[in-house]
Chains A and B, each alone.
Chain A
């Protein structure tokens, strides 16, 4: 890798709050964002979910959007909110034509709206409010709404690789910058809570009604979450030239596939090992250089067994690791970008984020996650994992500059 790619701006909204500061404060105070559903209309209202604590009306109001005039799905509202924060921190920046890419990621598009209207969709009715939502089901609707809202005309793309989607968006942006296609790339993802997704994971029997317990022997599945997060990537020299604050360096990454099973990871962690090992190789780092691992850690039986073994095989017992899923829930396509920002928070604050709800070590592991916020040494390199259905694995490495 010849050019150094750095992160110069971020925007985030999650169950922890709207904006970098709110997320930071909740993390530093070890306050999780999981609650019973407040906005999602579901019969499974006993589930703990990582809902963003704002209604669609509040989200729209904060953006000066009238939902009566133009339909926006919750997916789009979350994405626009996160993007607004990012753009506010670079408001001195003029995006010349053909110099910016916007790589978004998403798993179910505007399903959060469509699932309420699908029966009129497929009825003989030809008129009604539902008509405005017909083109919102696909994954690119939020991408388009973000660029339209801010009157940007970047090179756009949308990625969907399940739970690793926005990590892949970050890789795609980095590649485009390095190959000279664009100067800057805003990369990340968004997903809004939907009954479709909640019921999908329930049908797979890997949802815990109670707060999830990553890497615990008694773990019983995941909690779903929602949110959006974006990061601005550019070459270090370009960032320095414009005097931009450099939050971190993207020093390595890898995208690879388990090739094991449509939904389950390889039980011995071979796939996760390959992904992390290749990312280290790319970054030209040794396992001992890594100061913290922000694990995928969904708290499903399969993921944590596989990922835990992979971490133990590569890093032994020396490198602290944790999953932040008990804070936010599993935000699917947004997870990679949200946790990329959490990894940057760890670097900035020199802290290891706690793995909440952990009590009992897993039988198959000798390692255990860090359970309290730990600030005892400067952090230089953090690895962030995102592993998804279809065997789609990504590891990203962020470093201090």
Chain B
């Protein structure tokens, strides 16, 4: 079994005010438009001012969030940079593709093409930090963040020296992407108040969202926010597979069901997947709290990265804002947090985080 690794800092840009942690959920942002967009910070503090003018939203989101995670960990140059993105910069892809069609393959702007490559955030982060080490980008739908975290664990297990790995996940929502995916029933048909998403679970579809979350992972426990104990990925998930995997993880870490203080679940109001959570959690104890977040962020392929950020927030604050609570448990302090997230293209993942 691989050694666990530690999360020494975290940062998130999301539809809520998460970038400045102290403002998180002081005000709640919601919508009836079935898609949530991030609260954008002042990017100029984090990005080369000359380069920033040509950058698209996702690129700015990714770089700023990565830089903030490094600042929070007081790391200037990470030993490796590993990211996950399901979609890459949709804005750039859409612009380049439409220009190509409309302008009949002439006079195209290379900036959109370059920024639409999935590894461009990685490239910028290494440029800005002068990090010449290992650099990797995973693009596997609902496993993109998970693979980035797992790859960091693999990398940190290969060495006994202290290393810092910058890991992140990011995706963006665009009006076009929303329209395209509405044709294959990703979203609710009728407008709803995003805050009532979880109660709106008798129909198909969810609301769209976006975000970026970055972490510094290290093989040293010192100053850790929490321990990343285990990551499991499940293909073609069903309730039984989720139950079995939860059991496997708990057994491997010598935990009983009641040791899990909080489950952060990826419930998104989509009737088609409610059963995965309802029955999938059958193994868990009545005392465990269930916390949800997609009514605050919307759905996107790398939503697990927000859940991991939320876990680091809970470990630090040791209390749960009411708006997150789906099922109130009895536990008073947080030692073990399980994240269980499903994505529409037939994947689910389980992440176990423990107090360091």
Whether a CB of chain A sits under 8 angstroms from the CB of B336 is: no
Whether a CB of chain A sits under 8 angstroms from the CB of B319 is: no
Q: How far is the CB of A98 from chain B (nearest CB, A)?
A: 11
Give every chain B residue within 8 A of A58 (Cβ-Cβ).
Answer: none
What is the CA–CA distance of A263 and B127 in the complex, to the nearest angstrom? Answer: 11
The segment from A21-29, A49-57, A155-163, A242-250 that touches chain B is A155-163
Interface string of B65-81 (1 = CB under 8 A from A): 00000000000000001
What is the CA–CA distance of A392 and B181 in the complex, to the nearest angstrom? Answer: 31
Partner of B105, one of A181, A199, A256, A271: A199
Partner of B114, one of A106, A131, A175, A263: A263
Give every chain B residue within 8 A of A42 (Cβ-Cβ).
Answer: 105
Give every chain A residue within 8 A of B183 (Cβ-Cβ).
Answer: 121, 126, 131, 134
Minimal Cβ-Cβ distance residue in B for A168: B136
Whether A115 pairs with B100 at a CB distance below 8 angstroms is: yes
Whether B86 pairs with A175 at a CB distance below 8 angstroms is: no
Whether B118 pairs with A388 at a CB distance below 8 angstroms is: no
Whether a CB of chain A sits under 8 angstroms from the CB of B104 is: yes
Whether A160 pairs with B104 at a CB distance below 8 angstroms is: no
Whether A158 pairs with B140 at a CB distance below 8 angstroms is: yes
Give every chain A residue within 8 A of B137 (Cβ-Cβ).
Answer: 159-161, 392
Give the contacts of B142-194 with A (CB-CB under 8 A).
143, 147, 151, 154-155, 157-158, 176, 179-181, 183-184
Whether A156 pairs with B235 at a CB distance below 8 angstroms is: yes
Give every chain A residue within 8 A of B50 (Cβ-Cβ).
Answer: none
* A257 in contact with B132 given A158-B139, A389-B123 (CB within 8 Å): yes
What is the CA–CA distance of A392 and B118 in the complex, to the nearest angstrom? Answer: 12
Give every chain A residue within 8 A of B98 (Cβ-Cβ).
Answer: 118
Whether B123 pairs with A262 at a CB distance below 8 angstroms is: yes
Whether A179 pairs with B113 at a CB distance below 8 angstroms is: no
Whether A259 pairs with B139 at a CB distance below 8 angstroms is: no
Whether a CB of chain A sits under 8 angstroms from the CB of B87 is: yes
Whether a CB of chain A sits under 8 angstroms from the CB of B131 is: yes
Q: How far is the CB of B174 from chain A (nearest CB, A)?
A: 10
Whether a CB of chain B sits under 8 angstroms from the CB of A149 is: no
What is the CA–CA distance of A126 and B132 in the complex, to the nearest angstrom? Answer: 47
Partner of B110, one of A43, A157, A172, A204: A204
Give every chain B residue within 8 A of A44 (Cβ-Cβ).
Answer: 105
Whether B113 pairs with A204 at a CB distance below 8 angstroms is: yes
* A259 in contact with B110 given A107-B117, A140-B141, A157-B140 (CB within 8 Å): no
Q: How far is the CB of B331 from chain A (nearest CB, A)?
A: 32
Whether A134 pairs with B127 at a CB distance below 8 angstroms is: no
Whether B100 pairs with A195 at a CB distance below 8 angstroms is: yes
Interface string of B104-143 (1 = CB under 8 A from A): 1110111001101111101110110111111111111101
What is the CA–CA distance of A162 and B119 in the complex, to the nearest angstrom? Answer: 7
Residues of B within 8 A of A (CB): 2, 81, 86-88, 96-98, 100-101, 104-106, 108-110, 113-114, 116-120, 122-124, 126-127, 129-141, 143, 147, 151, 154-155, 157-158, 176, 179-181, 183-184, 233, 235-236, 301, 345
- Given A131-B184, A175-B151, A390-B135: 5 more A-B contacts, CB < 8 Å: A139-B140, A180-B2, A200-B96, A203-B113, A390-B117
